[in-house]
Structure 1
């Protein structure tokens, strides 16, 4: 474990916990942790994970303005939106996988799924959609395996914690989404 991994761990954990609670301040925490993890993942040859951090930074800026001063107001997506997102997740993951193999990524199958799943989950967070959290559960479990296998033990442990936090977010945002139903 390096100092870099330790600070990335702390800032990321703080940002994700804040994300469940829904205040706007979550986004700067995600931005800082993403910058730290971009460096760590690049050093570990998790190229898709490193690139993903810059998408998270951009998403953090978008999320800051999208959530507004009062924070998140979660709502559920329509069934057609859910089906479209699952199709995009599958097709895009399969498309990115060979590219990652060609550039020598450390864990191409999990990285392709994790990259696409994380982008979709991040967009769902920005759009304040409840479905972000069940997707985060699946992505976090995949990344937990990847990082433990790659001997990034603190980061693997962080993603295990993220899985629990995502379950909490899933429950909390589901309850909150009942207040903001789409007609």
Structure 2
């Protein structure tokens, strides 16, 4: 049985509304829109429920992206599921020695982390581009690879609650939106426009929380001295 045989039913009409047929792919896009938006909103609020919601979203997009021929993005969702398990654990057990709580605090990305992230992102983009170009029928190997690398970099930052992970997500979403429109995944493209706005909201929330943490840390020594 070929991949086309497995994915064929996803392209068949699921229901017809007002004379317009809607396929399983359209349904997956709609569910992805809702669960994805909810997940990003929960991340912005640093709510632990973002991880199980995100895993459900990843499963939906594995099917959607495979059907659209975005193989790197489909594989990326599988990696996201594994990273979600890691992120779920670090958010609840990452306070570290000397912390009054197990909850992971927001931090800035260190220079060392940036170095490794940029190197890994560049190598990943080049390697995936070559792989997709030679081993698949992808029509957008570079852009598929670039968004995959950016998303993995951003997910690492999200798992570790690094503030700059939002900037990486914004960069990825700016590429994702036109990429999905080009692949005629218009609802998914719209979803990523909404994601961009939610990421800006998340960046502001985490920046504010980081400022509060720093202010509280500065006040504690003063209170101890007094």
TM-score of the alignment, normalized to the shorter chain, above 0.5: yes
Q: Offset at 1:180?
A: 4.7
Q: In structure 2, do the counterparts of structure 1 residues 180 and 94 end up closer, same or farther at CA, with 3 Å as the change threshold? A: farther
Matched pairs, number: 181
Alignment of 1:36-55 (within 5 A): 36-55=60-79
Give the alignment of 1:17-166 within 5 angstroms.
17-68=41-92, 73-102=105-134, 103-166=136-199
Contact 2:33 2:191 survives alignment (8 Å): yes
Bigger mean CA deviation after superposition, 168-177 or 132-141: 168-177
Which runs of 5 or more structure 2 residues have no equivalent in the other structure?
A: 1-24, 94-101, 215-226
Q: Who wins on radius of gyration, i.e. which is larger?
A: 2
- Where does structure 1 lack aligned partners over 5 or more consecutive residues? none
CA contact (8 A) 1:75 1:178 kept: no
Distance in structure 2 (CA, Å) of the matches to 1:86 and 1:178: 26
- Aligned CA distance change for structure 1 residues 18 and 72 (closer, same or farther; 3 Å): farther
Bigger drift between 68-77 and 109-118 goes to: 68-77
Offset from partner CA, 1:35-54 (integer Å, 9 cap, x none): 00100000111000101111
SS of residue paired to 2:83: helix
Q: Which structure's relative contact order is higher, taking Cα pairs within 8 Å and 6+ residues apart?
A: 1
Separation in 2, partners of 1:88, 1:60: 19
Alpha-carbon distance in structure 2 between the residues aligned to 1:14 and 1:71: 21
Note the C-alpha offset of 1:177.
2.4
The aligned residue for residue 171 of structure 1 is 204
Cα displacement (A) at 1:91: 2.4
